[in-house]
Amino acid sequence: MKISDQFLWGGATAANQYEGGYLADGKGLSIADVEMGGNIDHPREIHESVHPHTYYPSHEGTGFYDHYKEDIALFAEMGFRCFRMSINWTRIFPLGDEEKPNEAGLKFYDQVFDELLKYHIEPVVTISHYETPLHLVQKYGSWRNRKMIDFFMNYCQTIFKRYKDKVKYWMTFNEINETMNKKNPYHQAGILFQEGEDKASTVLQASHHMFVASAKAVILGHQINPNFKIGCMVQYPESYPATCQPIDQIAKREYMLFTHYYLDVMCRGFYTNTCLAKQEQLGGKLIIDEGDEEILRKGTVDFIGFSYYFSSIVSYQRDGSINAKGCNPYLELTDWRWHIDSLGLRVALNELYDRYQIPLFVVENGLGAVDQLNEDGTVDDQYRIDFLGKHIEALKQAIEIDHVDVIGYTTWGCIDLVSAGTGEMKKRYGFIYVDKDDQGNGSLKRYRKKSFYWYKKVIETNGQTKFE
C-alpha cells in the first residue's frame, strides 16, 4: 500500500495564535484575547478584560489578517495541498449569542478561502480552536451551560451555509480530550474552576454538551452538503508502561482513558464501558437529556484528526496515582522537555485505526525550537528537518506496511506563531520565520527557513524525506 497521490500534505495554524486583527471589522473578544504570555516555568496569566498597556500575544499573532495573501503564496510555493486553519468564532459572532452574524467577518474568510482555492489548496477548518467568545464564558459559564449548544449550532449553520462550496474538511473542537486532562480547561472549554466547584461534574457535563454540539454539527453539516467530511480532533498522548510489571500496563490503560473517553463517544456514538469506567473513576454527576443518545448515535464523525508531539512512560505510584512524567532513557528531549519519539507516531496511528477503523488525519506534528535568524535572512533549522523527516518515515510505515488509512499530514505551525501553551514566540515551529519577539516587537517580515525548501521536496516527491 502506497501513499495516495491525493494525500493531503500541508501545514496547520489557529486563528488565536496566528491571525491577529483582534478587534478588526467588528470582531469581539475571545478567551485568548485576555491571556498574557508566559514561558515554560511561568503559566500564562488570564484576565477578565483587556487591561491597558498590557501585551496580549493573540492581539497581533503573527499578522495573518493583514498578510494572508503573502502567506498563502508562500504555502503554495511549498506545494501545500491543504491548509489547516480555524475560523475565529468571535469574528463571526462577536459576543456569541447574537442571532445575526458579522458580515465583515464572513467576508474575510471568503477572501481567505478564495485565495487558498486559487492555488488549489484545500482548506481544513477547525470550528472551535481555543477561541470561545469571552462573553459566553462570563455570562453563561461557557460549556457548563447547555445553552452553549444552541449558540454553537447557530455559528455552525452560518459558516456551513456560507462556505459549503469552499470548504470540504471540518473539525469541531480542537484537542477536546484535554478538557479532562487540564487543571483548568480554559482553552478547550472556556472553564476556570471556581472555589468549591465540583470539578468532576463540571468536566463530565461540559464534555457532554460538547459531544452533543459536535454530533449535531455533523448531522447538520451532512444535510447542508453531503460531501462534507467532518471530524473530531484530539491530542493523542502516546504512552508506554514504564516497566514490564503487569500493573504498569494497567496504568497505561487508565492514562489513555481520558483520550478514549472522547473518541469512543464521537466515533462510536455512545458512552462505552471505557467511558463508564472513567465516569465512575471521576465520581462526578452527569445529566443526559432525552434525545441526546440518539443525537450522539447519528452524529458520529467521518474521520479522526489528532495531534502528535511526544510520548510518555506511565507507572503506578505507591499512593495509587499514575505518574506520566518520568524520563524515557531511550529518547531525547526538546528544549521544552518533550520526548522526541518518531516511532511513537506509527504506534499511535495503529492504535487509533485498530480501535476505530475510520480514516485518520495527522493535523499537528512539529518541533518547537529556538531558531536563529542569520544576517543574510536564512535560518539553518536542520534539527527541524531531522525531526519531521523521522516522523514522516514513521507515518509512511504505518500506511505502507501496516495499511493504516491516513488521509493527510499537516505540520504544526507551518509558519511561526504564538505558542498556545506558553504564549511565547521563541518557541518556533514554522518553515517560515516571522520577525517578532516575546514582547511583541518586530517587523513581521517573513523569511524562508532551510526546512521550507526541504518540505517543498517532500511534497513534490509525495513523502520522500532524504535528498542529496
Which residues are part of the catalytic machinery? 175, 364
Contact of 219 with 298, CB cutoff 8 Å: yes
Q: What is the DSSP letter of 363?
A: E
**Cα-trace Rg, the chain:** 21
Please tell me the number of Cα atoms within 13 Å of 242 on its side-chain side: 16
Residue 169: what residue type? Y
Contacts of 356 by beta carbon, 8 Å cutoff, 6+ apart:
263, 267, 268, 304
Contacts of 376 by beta carbon, 8 Å cutoff, 6+ apart:
none
Residue 19: what residue type? E
Contact of 95 with 135, CB cutoff 8 Å: yes
Q: Which candidate, 76, 77, 167, 69, places its Cα nearest to that of 127?
A: 167
Give dist(CA 47, CA 70) in Å, integer: 33
First-to-last CA distance in the chain? 26
Phi, psi at 22, each rounded to 5° = -65, -20
Q: Which cell goes with 452?
A: 521550507
Give dist(CA 32, CA 46) in Å, integer: 9
Phi, psi at 43, each rounded to 5° = -60, 155
Give dist(CA 130, CA 35) in Å, integer: 11
Contact of 381 with 454, CB cutoff 8 Å: no
Number of CB atoms found within 10 A of residue 34's CB:
19
Q: What is the DSSP letter of 313?
A: E
CA dihedral of 387, 388, 390, 396, whole degrees rounded to 10: 170
Give dist(CA 367, CA 427) in Å, integer: 9
C-alpha distances in Å from residue 52, one per residue of 49, 56, 147: 10, 10, 32
Give dist(CA 81, CA 200) in Å, integer: 41
SS3 of 116, please? helix
Contact of 326 with 248, CB cutoff 8 Å: no
Give dist(CA 451, CA 329) in Å, integer: 28
